[in-house]
Structure 1
């Protein structure tokens, strides 16, 4: 990586200096006009609508889970600006390699809410994304998806194409060996991968300062020869600019990029988690003032382009989302073999035992009706 060959924002926001790219403040005022992306009003309004759709779907998913209609769910509240900014920079022929907290990006890539609900209903059909090519299943195992992203990126470079790969990991995932290995291979191979660390301050209950002594997480790019940048993850415009610049860099054949999206997980880690056990209400309230939807809305109001009936929009979205959930609820059971038959050529005894135990459970469940 040659420093002079980097895009301007990567030179100006060197992660070693712990600077953070920001375009608008909490009140919606532009603080860096030179960095404002050239987006027309219609595009900005569309971005807000997509963020609102993600938030509505996310809130309803939590509600479905609390009603006992869906299994454990991973909330996305507070991280919508990252997801939609990424989604607006992903082409149809690009690859999306998600972790498990990128609802808006998956929706932007064309995955349906029904497919997302199927996943959280424990239905194998929910991870296949059959109608949306170049989207890998969500990865619950922390960091393992990063190797897949780099492998895809290597194939793109080998074939001399201009596609990009978008992949995500949480702040906790940066402590996994998979993270370092993936960045190392991406640097060596100049794989066109845009890595995003969603630094939402907590790896379940472990705060970032307990996890690393690095000045930030973007600085982890330096050891592997990659451009890295720390970005205000609740600022849609900053995230959009970072993704646009990073994607252009990756497509040009120069290699991978690491983005640290500095944000906050306002909900629980999952619906099985109780964040009150490890963080204070005052902290949550303070970060609530940094809400990405509120900031973008205030910008639109300041600029005079706010013309949305948000309450009506929400009701429309709720109706659409609920219809998708009901479809998922009524979906036929998947073939049992989908879970067990494709791991090994010859199924080992332990897996046979698990399959028999599960068949026994299903039989018991059916007899209870």
Structure 2
């Protein structure tokens, strides 16, 4: 048992102390730690890679259980390859391992910080691919029942950046299994920027290794690959999700935005089923929040590379982060009537 601050365990490098921090290096150790806490009536905060957490400066008055389990294995099911990994496996390491072993399927999700166990919880996605597209099954520990069981994807309520595992701590992901593609070939490219970087058309495939390299380059250009020497990467990734506007409201919302930006400005918009998805980053910029806002010297700023990331410049506090997040959220809503929804999980704090 150790007692560093939670800031040492998050990519934002923010968060106060915990009463106790326990490392769980296997599924059995994780179950044991959770059982001990539950039997003692101790509050528990489970952390993997800490890439999607905003923790209060006051910290967490309980036990932090940090998942560091690291086993993974390939298999074949009815002729289809898959990989199964412990929740504590570093996500980008898993992606790299699948590509190096001649498989495609996960390459568009390269460079995303955090652990494997977190990926189905919020249905992680990037460059036209979501976890829901590749997920085979999830092993979950049911704390009230004290049971481990495998759950099929269709039981998880997966949708844009959400599952029914999110914002709850009674069901903890312990292992995850993903379908892969043979021949080191990517899935059909579904993201224009990525296809252009590869010299391909949307819908075409490419070598998984080349797709991974292109994704990493694109993410680095936006400060979205962890780098200890780059404060732009001291973030929780995209802080706000792209807003989904219902079909019934979309025409009125687009018309309101057009009044503000002018009729000649193209408003980025994408279909999301019958609804409409807008670009949170574009709305933030059009509301007057530029890269690096509020400027040099501020302890917490928008990334200098990507307005969707709120970054700790090394001396910030969670209170500073929340103040900036509120300013951005409220500024976008005041200008366009669209309320941005934060993506991270908040611990002992809120917007």
TM-score by length of 1: 0.28
> Which gives a bigger RCO, structure 1 or 2 (Cα 8 Å, sep 6+)?
1
Higher helix share: 1
